[in-house]
Amino acid sequence: MMSTITQSQLDLLIHTIRNTPIIDHHAHPLLNWDNQTGKYPLLHITSEASGDAIESATSTLAHLRAVRQLAKELKCPPSWESIVAKLEAIRLDPDEPEIWNEWISRCLEGVHTILLDDGLDDKDTVEDLEWHSSYVQSPCKRIVRIETVASDLIKHLSAGDFQDVARAEAIIKDPATLKEFWETWAGSFDNAIKNAIDDPLVAGFKSVVAYRTGLDVAGREPTGDAVQPALKEVVKEFLKGCAARLEDSSLNDYVIHRTATLIRDYKGKGQEEEPIRKPKKPIQFHTGLGDSDLTLAKASPSYLQEFIRAYPDVPMVLLHAGYPFTKEIAYMATVYKNVYADIGEVFPCISKDGQERLLMEILELCPWSKILWSTDGHWFPETYLLAILQIREAFETVLCSYVLKGHIGWKAAIVLVQDLLFRNANKLYHLGLDFPEAQEVASRSLAIYPNPSRNLTVLHEFLNNTIEPTFVQVCWNDYTALQRMRLVPFRRFTSLLEAGRSTDIGITKAVFGMIQNDYLIPSSSPTGEYRLHPDFSSLKHGPVAGHISMHGEFREQDGLPVALCPRSLLLRTVEIGAQKGLGFLLGFEIEFLLLERVESDSVMDRYTALKTDGHAWSVSKYYANPKINALLKNMVEALAHMDIYVEQIHAESATGQFELILPPYPPVQAVDTLLHTRDVMANLATEAGFKMTLHPKPFAKACGTAAHMHMSILPEADAFDAEKVTQHFYAGVLKHLCAITAFSYSNAASYDRAQDGVWAGGRWVTWGTQNRETALRKIEGSHWEVKIIDGLANPYFVASAILLAGIRGVEKEEKMVWGDCEMDPATLSDMDRKELGISQMLPGSVEEALRALQEDTEMVEMLGGELVERYVAIKEFEGGFLEKMGVDERRLWLMERY
């Protein structure tokens, strides 16, 4: 079942995913200018392979995806050869060094700071800490690789870079010299680690023991006697001209244990007698995938359990998602308080699907407060760029899907993103950085960056292996409340998503300048085009077999919202309410009339009233008509299959008139559901041989047909005085009720129904508790009913106008000057009405209502002057067109369309 999240809330989540700053807690320095080309093959950006094996990287999914993404960023053809040529031109052009700097800035865009493991390369080949800091928001810090510290000390203390070969030989041959060397080296190593702990430029430590002897680290620190033979072997290799690598398990284990012990026990300089107060710097461990120098079987993080148990107060970070041992790393971070799971390097080294599965796998078990993300960027700036692009894509696909399915709330998903990308690392490494609040999301502007992959995932999960539909409907409701749509074959629709392309549909700008028969108002023209943007959060099956549908909103070519779009107005209104700490639930009643279709040569006799016995309000006799019984049953069952669960259904007063009550939803979902439900009902009625109409006054002497809206106010903030807020809110609605009527009673036919004494809400601006003769009926608490709406109103406009008026009432603390009216206000004396503050009548015609709207400057400002001007122009043009018809012709014309 789809969640009740609105597109506005989903957009806020997407905005957070795309804009949250990153603390890259594990990366490596970039090669300097002189070593950017030639030292390492560029294929390393997506592969850990080396030697001849690297050539096969071009046939991996990760590589092909990188080609597409880099080609888009570099604006070059999507081929590896083109990308290499473009990057070499950027790197090697001595006359345009700024191009290189701009490219690095682009690659590091969004990174707030980097914690650099600088133990991978010769310092002469890479840029230093200060250089990297110039490209990010906060100064970078170091991650000290402990094996590098240990091996550098062996090299320096044994032979001083070959300056004292005799000493090195003595260490190898003489046990006493070896012991002395061991003691010197061990003390120097302790001092180096202590200095690093004290150094504000050092954020933490890292071990690459997985590359040396594996992660099966002993549970206890090896003794000096066990370590000395290993030291001697390292010195031997050094004298042979080999690197001073730690290849013995006892020596590696010693280095790791000593580091953990010093972190656990260190008090800081000059504080030997004080309790331990110094924050503990973490140790990072390489786990999982790496190059051929690594024995994969011993890179599983589960090998570290004994060591982790030995140091419960030392923070440890297991890097690279432990891939392919991701479940193990999730488990370790879950059950040990001092263990954290990093999910770096897999971006961009594994496929898109693999990344999404990995993200889901880590979230299966692991608390997100224990998860961190890093680029593992190294050598080439493109490694940073690709990693950042891909983690944001994975977050968007996975988290939006989770939110839509109700696995996590949208607010919690926002916190998750901010924690993983920034806050968890900030806290763990004691960086003390302020979270830079992202700029407020530009209202409805995210279409500029569509995510077809996420939408494809949402679509597949929505269908859930059901029969593939034939068509996708993308719907909108125009200024005359006419439901329109574009039909896209399902396979075409999915092929666009699979190709990473937008599913927006080009629609003429005349869409908001025409009446029901497509006549254009004088101030509109067919010039120009909007983009109809499908909202995947509104996906529903139907309204007919073989179709799925969703509602769309209109956007400009640059992705910004169209000021004239009714649905965008309601989305903006909900955002305004949320900013004021207000949320809402809306529920609609659908009153509808069933008519018999007549085979007649006369156009005026196409429909006739049903032939029923004793039809009246809430009577049960209508069930005696098997066709009506079957139709109502089919309506309820069809809607239930679409996850729309009807709350009630009953007969209304006019012959063949019924009411179907929908459950409450957040505003945009409520209106979307209302429009979709009407389409379902109308199609089923047609299939059954009936005509369903929403005409507000189908029979001159019978009860009219309404579309009442129920509304409740929900707190979106901690401080919420329900009674006070409710009074201010509905006072605001009543203050602007005459202007609101221009939207709720939008047609001349509406005013045939709007009479006193017929349970239609009456003609007066007032309210009453459980009073169906007042425009606003209070039910209980903040739950009120708006009576003065019918089926010819665009519900996006009506809901927006009512909510904006109420929100402004809360903002201005509008006083409720109207008393609780317990009687039909039309039957009260002038004095009684005056005592209740009832002094104003609602408009008696469309013309009066439009005039009230134009004169209500506050309402015009809230809705937008351009929108109000266009709405008035269309309704005046529509009114002029309908006025030329006779009464019966106009009635039939409206019935055919509503």
Q: What is the pLDDT of residue 740?
A: 95
Question: Is 87 a domain residue?
Answer: yes
Residue 501, domain CATH: 3.10.20.70
Same domain, 38 and 158: no
pLDDT band at 207 (very low <50, low <70, confident <90, very high): very high
* Between 155 and 348, the higher pLDDT residue: 348
d(CA 133, CA 893): 70
Same domain, 129 and 171: no
Residue 260: pLDDT over 80: yes
Q: Name the residue type at position 50.
A: S
Q: What is the pLDDT of residue 2?
A: 46
Q: Do residues 547 and 638 lie in contact, with contact meaning Cβ atoms separated by under 8 Å?
A: no
How many helices (H) and strands (E) are present in the chain, helices listed first?
32, 23
Q: Rounded to whole angstroms, what are the CA distances from 229 to 182, 249, 255, 555, 768?
A: 10, 11, 15, 72, 93
Q: Rounded to whole angstroms, what are the CA distances from 337 to 288, 340, 341, 366, 421?
A: 21, 8, 11, 12, 20
Same domain, 99 and 56: yes
Question: Is 762 a domain residue?
Answer: yes
Same domain, 879 and 869: yes
pLDDT band at 93 (very low <50, low <70, confident <90, very high): low
pLDDT band at 96 (very low <50, low <70, confident <90, very high): low
Question: Is 598 a domain residue?
Answer: yes
Same domain, 112 and 190: no
| Mean pLDDT (whole number) for 403-430 | 92
Same domain, 293 and 273: no
Q: 496, 531, 562 — which closes off a domain?
A: 562
Residue 859: pLDDT over 70: yes
For the segment 836-846, what is each residue's pLDDT rounded down to a tens digit?
A: 998 999 999 99
Question: Is 212 a domain residue?
Answer: no
Same domain, 733 and 805: yes
Q: What is the pLDDT of residue 246?
A: 83
pTM for the whole structure = 0.63
The DSSP bridge pattern shows strands 709-715 and 283-285 to be unpaired
| Mean pLDDT (whole number) for 249-260 | 92
Domain span at residue 475 reads 450-562
Residue 1: pLDDT over 50: no
pLDDT band at 10 (very low <50, low <70, confident <90, very high): confident
- The domain total for the chain is 4
The rounded percent of the chain whose pLDDT value lies above 90 is: 47
* Lowest model confidence (mean pLDDT) among 35-49, 94-108, 557-571: 35-49
Q: What is the pLDDT of residue 441?
A: 39
For the segment 562-586, what is each residue's pLDDT rounded down to a tens digit?
A: 899 999 999 889 888 888 888 899 9
* Lowest model confidence (mean pLDDT) among 511-525, 582-596, 617-631: 617-631
Tokens of 518: 């497509």
d(CA 341, CA 333): 6
For the segment 471-502, what is each residue's pLDDT rounded down to a tens digit?
A: 999 999 999 999 999 999 999 998 888 887 88
Residue 295: pLDDT over 80: yes
| Mean pLDDT (whole number) for 66-81 | 87
Give φ, ψ of 450 to 5 degrees: -65, 155
Question: Is 1 a domain residue?
Answer: no
| Mean pLDDT (whole number) for 306-314 | 94
